């Protein structure tokens, strides 16, 4: 995938570009807002990682300019401003996701992957299939092979989100934001417990587990 990184801090940019390249992406870098906007409008990218505070042009203004010219490349906004209000403003301007600095690279990577998939998909599905797992979004039922699996509403939402990102790492923070709509770091292992309950239901009694823990990063649902 081809990515654009717009970041003025040289060290932060180098770190980002290196990390993204090592993950197998092609990466272009712009060091200020104007250059970023020119690159973003003249070339095609699969996703843009955009720092919010830039010399020359505000990050939000770039997103707004892109959207105004009918460019819908997914944008992940990076910001040192950690206020729910700022997050809301960033998303309103047309950003697709918002991550506060400093961040863990694994978190950033997982979010970019998620954005790339969202850009590819976009169609409204009624059924999700991951390996032998089948999720009916209308009937709210789940089957693994022939067996029907009973899930609580929150377990269903959790599984749906994992399935939409099947094959990719999903972080605890992403789950907390997307499934519960909370933006804080729980001190306890709440998410882990939810995952292990879900794992009990979908993996117990099957030879191959589908719900994997990725150490230091998060979770991943894979077709067995």
Minimum CB separation of residue 177 from another protein in Å reads 10
For 129, phi then psi, to 5°, come to: -125, 125
- Binding range to another protein, per CB under 8 A, among 5-13, 83-91, 121-129, 204-212: 83-91
Q: Is 161 in the site for another protein (CB under 8 A)?
A: no
Minimum CB separation of residue 49 from another protein in Å reads 20
Q: Is 15 in the site for another protein (CB under 8 A)?
A: no
What SS3 class is residue 28?
strand
Among 72, 140, 154, 208, binds another protein (CB under 8 A): 154
- Show contacts with another protein in window 88-107 (CB under 8 A): 88, 102, 104
Q: Is 38 in the site for another protein (CB under 8 A)?
A: no
Token reading at 65: 């300019």
Q: Which is nearer to another protein, 6 or 179 (CB)?
A: 179
Q: Is 186 in the site for another protein (CB under 8 A)?
A: yes
Minimum CB separation of residue 194 from another protein in Å reads 5
- Show contacts with another protein in window 114-153 (CB under 8 A): 152
- The rounded radius of gyration (Å) of the Cα atoms in the chain is 19
Q: If phi over 0 gives left and psi between -120 and 50 gives alpha, with beta otherwise, what is residue 152?
A: beta
Beta strands in 62-206 (DSSP E): 75-79, 97-100, 127-130, 133-136, 141-144, 147-149, 170-171
Minimum CB separation of residue 199 from another protein in Å reads 12
Distances (CA, A) of 6 to 14, 52, 93, 222: 11, 9, 17, 32
Question: What is the strand order of the sheet 127-130 is part of?
Answer: 127-130, 133-136, 141-144, 147-149
Residue whose C-alpha is closest to residue 79's, from 118, 56, 108: 108
Q: How many residues bind another protein (CB under 8 A)?
A: 24
Residues in contact with another protein by CB under 8 A are 82-86, 88, 102, 104, 152, 154, 180, 182-190, 193-194, 197, 216
């Amino acid at each position: 995938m081809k990515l654009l990184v717009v970041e003025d801090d040289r060290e932060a940019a180098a770190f980002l570009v290196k990390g993204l390249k090592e993950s197998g992406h092609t990466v272009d870098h712009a060091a200020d807002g104007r250059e970023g906007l020119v690159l973003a409008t003249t070339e095609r990218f699969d996703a843009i990682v955009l720092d919010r505070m830039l010399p020359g042009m505000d990050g939000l203004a770039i997103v707004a300019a892109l959207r105004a010219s009918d460019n819908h490349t997914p944008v992940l906004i990076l910001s040192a401003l950690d206020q729910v209000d700022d997050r809301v403003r960033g998303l309103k301007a047309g950003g697709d996701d918002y991550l506060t600095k400093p961040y863990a690279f694994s978190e950033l990577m997982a979010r970019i992957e998620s954005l790339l998939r969202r850009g590819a998909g976009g169609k409204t599905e009624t059924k999700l299939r991951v390996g032998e797992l089948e999720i009916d979004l209308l009937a709210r039922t789940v089957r693994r092979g022939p067996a029907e699996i009973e899930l609580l509403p929150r377990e269903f939402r959790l599984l749906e989100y994992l399935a939409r990102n099947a094959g990719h790492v999903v972080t605890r923070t992403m789950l907390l934001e997307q499934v519960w709509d909370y933006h804080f770091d729980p001190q306890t292992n709440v998410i882990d417990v939810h995952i292990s309950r879900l794992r009990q239901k979908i993996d117990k009694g099957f030879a191959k587990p589908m719900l994997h823990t990725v150490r230091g990063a998060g979770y991943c649902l894979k077709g067995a």
